[in-house]
Each structure stands twice: as C-alpha cells, then as structure tokens.
A = this chain, B = another copy of it.
C-alpha cells in the first residue's frame, strides 16, 4: 500500500479527485472533486480504503504513520475552518462517515457532532448563542457515539433501546409528547444521564477528549464494513469484501441553527422523466435526517427562489457546475448554515429507464458526452421500463394501502395487466372473444395453453420459475406474467383461488404488476407504453411522443456500434411484425410446434401421433401440411427479405396428447378408437425424463415423414412467397442434434424436399440447413457437426439444463438457496454460465469454425435477450443473438455496449 493514508480537502484545494474512487470511496473522491472545482465544501479529510484493509489485517490497530497524518490533516481543517479541535472556546466539531467505492446507503455507521464534551459545549453555546441547539447536538452525539462506538444498544429485537428508554422517561417526567418539546435543561440532563447509563452498562467512562472520540469513531466506522447489514448488502449486490471502505472526517455544518439555516437534496435533472430541469427539495432549520425521516414534508426546490433567492441562485449555479463538470445527472446534498451554502455530497443520480435514455440523448445533443458514452450510461434492462404497460402509480398505491395485495410471485413478465380470472385456456379464448379482459390463472402452463395465454391480458401461475413455460411464452408474447406464486391455492374444479385468506372466484377482477411481481385484488386501469403505441399499435404518431423520439435516436446509436446481428424468436406473423418494428433483422427461432395447437390442428396432430403405421401418419400429416404452409407464408411475408430460421418439431409427442379421462374419452370418440387403446398409446408414450427423451431430431429420425411434411410446408410457402416477388431466406434448423449423423440424416430429407419443391414450382431460392447446438456432445463434436451444418444456433436453455444436469422445471426447490448461499453467483437460466456452459460454447465456436471458417453462429436460447449473455456472445464471436420481440431493444443496446468494450 501507499504511504499516504490521508487525503485532505478544504478551501479551494483537495489532494484527491473524482478519479480516485477506489482509494477514497465515492463520497471522498467527489468531496475532493467538488473542492477542486470551487464548490463550498466544509474542510475535511479522507482516510483511504487501503487503511481499512490494513486495519483488519492488523486486527484493529492503527499505525503511527496514520496517526501523524490524521493529526496533520486536522490542523489543516482547523486552519481552513478557523476553529480548533479540542478547544473549548471555538470548538471544531467533526463528522465521521463511511464511503465505499459504490454507495451502500445506510449500511455502515456514522458519528456526528464529534468533539463535544462538557467543556466545548460551553464554547458552542457562546458561539451560536443557542443553548438549546447546543445541548440537543450534545445529547445526540452522546447517543450516537454510545451506540456506534461503545456498542450500547438493545441486546435483542424485543429489548427497548437504552437511550430511547431514558428519553421516554424524560418526556414523561416533563409531560411532553415530542422530543422537540423538551427544554434546554431536559436536553442537558439527557447528555449526563446517557453518560451515566453508558458507564453503568460498559464500565467505561464516556471519553471526553475529542481525539479519543475521533479514533473511536474511525475504528467503529471501519468495523461497520463487517456489520450484518453491510455483509448482506454486499452479497446482494456482488460487492467484493476486499474493497473496504474509506472514512471521511469533515467539519460539521448545521442546517438546524435557526431560520437562516436549512438542508436539502438536489438533482441536476429530473430523475423520473430525465427533463433538463433543476429538481429537488429542502427544509429550513433542519438536519439531513429530518428530510429523510418524513416527519416534516420538504418543499420543492423551486420554492426556494421566493424564500432564499440568493441561495437559490447559488444553488442553481452549483447545479449547472455539477451537471457540466460530471457530464451526468448528479444527486447532491447541501446544507445552509446561517445563510451560507455548504455542499456535503454529490454522486451520479439514480433514475428511471426513461430518464436514463433521455438524459443520455440530451447530453449528446448538448455536446457534453459522445454517443459511445451515452450508450454506456444506460443499462440495457432499463429499456424494459419504456416498453411495458403501466398502472397509474397513485391508483396502485391507494389499492395497496387498502390491503389489496394478494400475493407476490416472480417478476416473470414485466408490465401491468388487469382482468377477470379464468382457469383454463378454452375459457380464456371464449371470454376474450366476448370482449372480456381476462387473466389466465394456472397452476402451471403447457403448450396447450398457448392460445389461452395469447387471449389473456396477463398470466398468473402458482408453480414454475423465471424460465418456466409461462414466463418464457409471456416474455415472447410481451404478456404480463407473475409466475411461481406459491401462496395461491388454485382449485380448478371449484374454479377458485384461496390466497391471503380471501377467495377469488372465476370472473373476479385481479391485477398483475409483472414488473414488481405483485398480484392485486380488483381492477386497475393500464396504459400501453408510448413506444408500443407508436411502433406496434400505430395509435400514436412519433412526433406526438416525447419518449419515442429519444428512444428511437438512442437505439439508432446502438445500431451504429454493435457488431452482433439481432434476430427474434417468433412463431406467428404478428410476433414477427412486432419484432421487425423493434429492430429484428431476422427470425432466429420459429418453433413449429407452437403452430400445432388450436381447433383442427391439434386433432390432426393427435391423429398423427396415434398412428400405428407410417401410412396412417402420412395421412394425418397431409392434413397438417396446408396449415403449416399457410403459417410460414404469413411469416415469410412479415419478414420480407430477412432470414427466417425454422426449427423442426422439438417437444416429445406426449405433450400434445390429452391427460384427463374426459379429454381422452372425447378424443377416442373423435378418432373412432376405444378409450382403452387410446390410453394404452398415451401410456406407452409416457417418459421418465421427457426433457431427455424421445424429442428433437430423434422424432424426425424415427418418423422421417414428420420432417418431410415440415420441410414441404416450409419450402412450398417459400416458393409461393418467392413467386409473389418476396426474397425469402428460409433456414431449416434441426434440434437436439448430439451426433453428426443425426443432422446428416435429417438434412438429406430436407434437401430432397427442397429440391423437389423448387422443381415443382419452377423457382429457385437459397436456403440453409443447420442445427441447434444444445447438447454438450454437440458442442464437443462441433468440428464433425460443422461438416453437415450451414449454421449453428446455440440453444442455451437446454444446453444449460444438460451441462448442469438440472431441469429448470424442477430446480425451484433449491435454486433460491443456491443463490442465497452464493453457491452460484447467478442463476444460470438467466445469465449464461460462462465457466461451464460458456466454455462449451467457446469450444463449439472454435471447433465449428475449424471445419468451416465462415460458419454462421447464433444463439436462440432465452439468454439471447439478457445483457451479460449478449456480451459473452459478442466476446466469443457469434454472428447474432435471437430473443423475444420485446427484448430486442435490450439486445441491441447490450450488443453495442459489448462492441464498445473491445
């Protein structure tokens, strides 16, 4: 470590600056920076994070070197402030605050008013001519020091705070209700009584010497790096232990010295909308904690223009200075002590997604930052907030206050939705056809529920995780979804939910806030995002939307810089169209099985499955052929000249069969076979581990006629759209390939059909045949597979499941614990596990391109829309990512940021 432990700031110069955040912490670095740019910062000094680390290594001892540097710094503070630490007449009071690299608000300890004792209190009284203020400060200091430094605090949650106990007794004795009603004498007594209690409890006298108080406080603030709250916060926010915290020692200024004093917070721009206005609030004759505590309601900053026009002008200049200097929206704290303004903190302000984009765009317009910087200022996930339908915040708050919250679940599909409860997909479609808004409530969803999910405003499930069927489909459809809401007791038969002591019946209204994971009783009005209104619904003109303009400009910058192509996972023409509107450059995954549901189709699908011979199966497939072909025609038209990757049938066949006795009886009657025979067939298709069973290309290999029908549907559709003048680019993708020969066999079928169709139609168009890489074996033998594949597409959902040996549907019982106990850093179903799954992907890219240097490689797993995964895909050299339509903007931004990192 460096031999400089202490960095002074004060007057118009500081030893540190904003670039020294790792050494001085965020707070200390910015106090120094503000000093350097001439803002009025009370003098002080920062003890570095290196000292913190050393402090713990030395088991809580301070070096002589440190002590000397602190003493030196105190002298400089005294000089700057014109006061003396440890001098009764003109006492310099200090604050001691933590300050880590990133803000950990309220997690560590603080000591204020340090330097007060029975002597210096007299000096403070004399100086301020305000004995009540002085004694109030004194008793607060003794309380804070006793708690933070001397450890006098309740021993258990049920115990009363010992300081509060004395305070309460005092209020009672004086017959008052609030602390501020206590008189000077009472406050004076409190300080003494606190000290006596501390001695009684600890056997240690409260230290009167300021220097002792200072070292005690520094030590306590360092130690608070390891208090329970701080440890928990670090775990939650991935903050390494070995960063440590700095300690900031600073001259006290007081906003509570009278009506010429005050305190407040400001934002250089509106953190909610991003508008370039001065935003903030303040309180006169108050300390910072009073603004936070919410006992008194603070005033909007604009009011200060009337109340204290000079200070307001100064603050406005400060705001300009900060905004320009830091080239970003700042969130700052200030105190006015006897008409003099002091700056206590500044940092980049937290903001909504909208504000984030708008500020970034406007900073570029102002010439303050580059486009690249603007892109780096926005977290991709924040874009979600611009796209989701929303509740009115006040309306929701009111309902929650009135006890409207029924339960919380996983935030599976962001946005807001209200509707009447139905319990199955058939009802969902029926009710929706009648113009009703409905919420589909299921214990869990399956592919059979797709049409019902589509008909619903929102989806609520009792089981399933963030990548459950419900969550996956909801996000792809852009539906609001709260999943895995275990508190729901759903009774399909009685068509009711028991939850939170209430009964919700079919037809009752509920509301889902998918952004928060809340299930709310009753109806709440929702509003679609402006982006959607402009791009998808075309119900708003671009120029009428402030949001759309900045969004659109911002996204165009992302496209300038990104290297990755962006495709979408879409199975229907309307999804495809929405995806194109959001910027999709192709379809990366069209799941043909999603077309297998719905009236006529499912009957033909079931006939196909239940066929005993290839001939019967072909007959059933012939019925499906025109339906699939028409689907593809719609998609090809929607996608224009963009490539469309179509995956052949993937899920195990039993997923398409009925499960209940009643459904089975119905199907048996329809198919004119006995119930017994049907049940036997259904039983024979059951699997122990369907995820690892007869699915993917294994189906196409045992039933080549299925692959043939699907290929025929794809290519006849392509031929037809080609005739219409469309520049179709079909790419047929074979799923679940583990061995090169599987792909070879399926590819032969596809090519045979393609050539037949082209000949029959007398047209020619290009097409590709490739494969999913979704099994470890596929990645490990990618060199072999690439001999047969025109392209690879990583199916990271299944690749994660197989690499971890973990079914995402069954992981719910322990994943939360794995994350809580940090066995995993992240849920591998959300962000690509770079160490394991990512290693396989890397191997796959390397081996694949060894055989075929120009091999096109993409990803179509859910990870394709997750920012850190998109970055990884960029890093390992993929050509494109494919994600659900509503995540396309996120992927575009993430891709741009990844490219900017290079």
Contacts and interface: CB of A to CB of B under 8 A. Distances in A.
B776 A809 contact: no
B701 A805 contact: no
B781 A736 contact: no
A742 to B, nearest CB: 6
Interface stretch (A21-29, A124-132, A416-424, A832-840): A832-840
A775 B805 contact: yes
A681 interface: no
B810 A689 contact: yes
A742 B835 contact: no
A814 B736 contact: no
Nearest to A692: B807
B745 A821 contact: yes
Given A781-B836, A835-B784, A802 B776 contact: yes
Given A691-B689, A809-B689, A836 B741 contact: no
Given A688-B807, A701-B814, A741 B822 contact: yes
Nearest to A742: B823
B807 A687 contact: yes
A833 to B, nearest CB: 7
A702 B813 CA distance: 9
A810 B687 contact: yes
A385 interface: no
A702 B814 contact: yes
Interface string A757-797: 00000000000000000111100110010000000000000
A690 B810 contact: yes
A372 interface: no
Interface in A680-702: 687-694, 698, 701-702
Contact of A823 (B691, B739, B776, B822): B739
A186 to B, nearest CB: 50
A818 interface: yes
B691 A836 contact: no
Interface residues of A, number: 49
Identical copies in the complex:
2
B810 A805 contact: no
Most chain B CB inside 10 Å of its own CB: which residue of A689, A807, A814, A818:
A689
A817 interface: yes
Given A702-B814, A836-B777, A798 B805 contact: yes
A527 interface: no
Nearest to A775: B805
Most chain B CB inside 10 Å of its own CB: which residue of A814, A837, A840:
A814
A837 B804 contact: no
A633 to B, nearest CB: 33
A492 interface: no
A780 B835 contact: yes
B803 A780 contact: yes
A702 B801 contact: no
A801 B692 contact: yes
A813 B780 contact: no
A818 B746 CA distance: 13
A788 B481 CA distance: 41
A694 B802 contact: no
Contacts of A742: 823
Contacts of A698: 814
A210 interface: no
Contacts of A233: none
10 contacts: A688-B691, A691-B692, A692-B801, A701-B818, A702-B817, A774-B805, A775-B805, A776-B802, A776-B840, A780-B835
Shortest beta-carbon contacts, A-B, top 6:
A692-B807, A777-B836, A693-B810, A689-B807, A776-B776, A775-B805
Interface of A: 687-694, 698, 701-702, 736, 738-739, 741-742, 745, 774-777, 780-781, 784, 798, 801-807, 809-811, 813-814, 817-818, 821-824, 833, 835-837, 839-840
